[in-house]
Amino acid sequence: MRIGFIGLGDMGLGIVPRLIAAGHSVTGWNRTRGKAEPLLKLGMGWADSPREVAAQSEIVFSIVTDAAAVQSVALGGSGIIAGLKKGGIYLDMSTIAPDASRAVAAEFAKAGLTMLDAPISGSTVTLAEGKASIMVGGERSAFERVQPVLLAIGPKVTYIGGSGMAVQMKLAVNLVLMVEVIAFCEGVALAEKGGVAREVAVDAMLKSVVASPVLGYRGPFILEGKMPAVPLADVTLQQKDMTLVLELGRKMGVPVPLAAAANEMMNACRGLGLGRHDFVIAHEAYRRLGGMSK
């Protein structure tokens, strides 16, 4: 199929090659063209605006930072909505508030077009391993049309329900992920304070009943010299998701105390000057707050 892709950050750089390898023709756009150079060498086409990308595509994906960025690339005279032809489908893979996603979908519906929320769960690691999962919300018939394309990105594709339901589910998933990783950091720091060597504590955790895929690849980051120079998801990005969870809980009257605790640990990381690192740096925050030397 002719596919458009808007937003060529780390996840976009991992997704587009999978689409090309599956035989699809991909045209991309990013605010900074330099980011796209590796993909252009793989055969991806380039357009000068989201509108131009959409005009050349049957399906258009976007994966950008927040709701304001989604609105910027999706709506308006130079947005996807202005270029997508009747019968085309727009899939936004960003993690934003459900209401914000529904508002954009409503604008597409007014124009006689279809938008699906299709957030991807996983990091660049799980994507590269072919283990990423995609959740989809919106019109079921549109989902069925794009499902074969989504399976080229990741093997686990799940239809969640109506518009905005997939991003709501993604926030629920990220809540569990955040709490799990923060609890791991807290547990290792507690063991360390009591005299257990960090590498022993990490090894024991990853061999125990608490082990999981995310801890399997992220847990070792806290070992000496193992923190990646380029974070899979830094403190600020993960805190953005927790603030969305907190706001969603407030709106719906659902208590989310563990999300609040995880959010406070992200505040602690930023306050200690650790915000540029992958969010598993919370382990270092626990160490410092617990009186352990740097």
Chunked in runs of 10, what are the mean pLDDT values of the chain (294 residues)? Answer: 96 96 97 93 96 98 96 96 96 97 98 97 89 96 97 96 98 96 98 97 98 94 94 93 97 97 97 96 97 80
Q: Choose among 287, 289, 235: nearest CA to 262.
A: 235
Beta strands in the chain (DSSP E): 2-6, 25-29, 45-46, 59-62, 89-92, 114-117, 120-121, 133-137, 156-161
Number of Cβ atoms within 10 Å of the Cβ of 8: 25
Residue 293: burial class (beta carbons within 10 Å; 0-12, 13-18, 19+)? exposed
Beta bridge partners of 32: none
For the chain, the first-to-last Cα distance in angstroms comes to: 53
Q: Is residue 253 part of a domain?
A: yes
* One domain, residues 157 and 208: no
Structure tokens at 56: 């050349």
* One domain, residues 6 and 129: yes
Contacts of 22 (CB under 8 A, 6+ apart): 149, 152
Which of 118, 146, 162 is the endpoint of a domain? 162
* One domain, residues 207 and 143: no
* One domain, residues 146 and 176: no
Q: Label residues 37-71 b or e (16+ Cβ within 10 Å = b).
A: eebeeeebbebebbbbbbbbbbbbbbbbebbebbb
* One domain, residues 189 and 234: yes
Q: Is residue 200 part of a domain?
A: yes
Which of 139, 162, 185 is the endpoint of a domain? 162
Structural domain for 217, as ranges = 169-289
Type of residue numbered 249? G
Structure tokens at 238: 């993960």
Q: Is residue 179 part of a domain?
A: yes
Domain tally for the chain? 2
What pLDDT score does 294 carry?
Answer: 59
DSSP conformational letter for 36:
G
- Which pTM was predicted? 0.93
Based on DSSP, count helices (H) and strands (E) in the chain, helices before strands.
14, 9
* One domain, residues 53 and 118: yes
Q: Is residue 74 part of a domain?
A: yes
Q: Is residue 282 part of a domain?
A: yes
* One domain, residues 7 and 141: yes
**CATH code where residue 175 lies:** 1.10.1040.10
Q: Is residue 116 part of a domain?
A: yes
Asked if 197 contacts 224 with a C-beta cutoff of 8 angstroms, the reply is no
What pLDDT score does 123 carry?
Answer: 86
Q: Is residue 100 part of a domain?
A: yes
Q: Is residue 294 part of a domain?
A: no
* One domain, residues 112 and 251: no
**CATH code where residue 89 lies:** 3.40.50.720
What distance in Å separates the CA atoms of residue 81 and residue 34, rounded to the nearest whole number?
25
* One domain, residues 65 and 199: no
Which of 119, 146, 162 is the endpoint of a domain? 162
Asked if 150 contacts 136 with a C-beta cutoff of 8 angstroms, the reply is yes
* One domain, residues 178 and 252: yes
* One domain, residues 228 and 177: yes
What distance in Å separates the CA atoms of residue 292 and residue 287, rounded to the nearest whole number?
5
Distance of CA 237 to the CA centre of its chain: 9
* One domain, residues 135 and 175: no
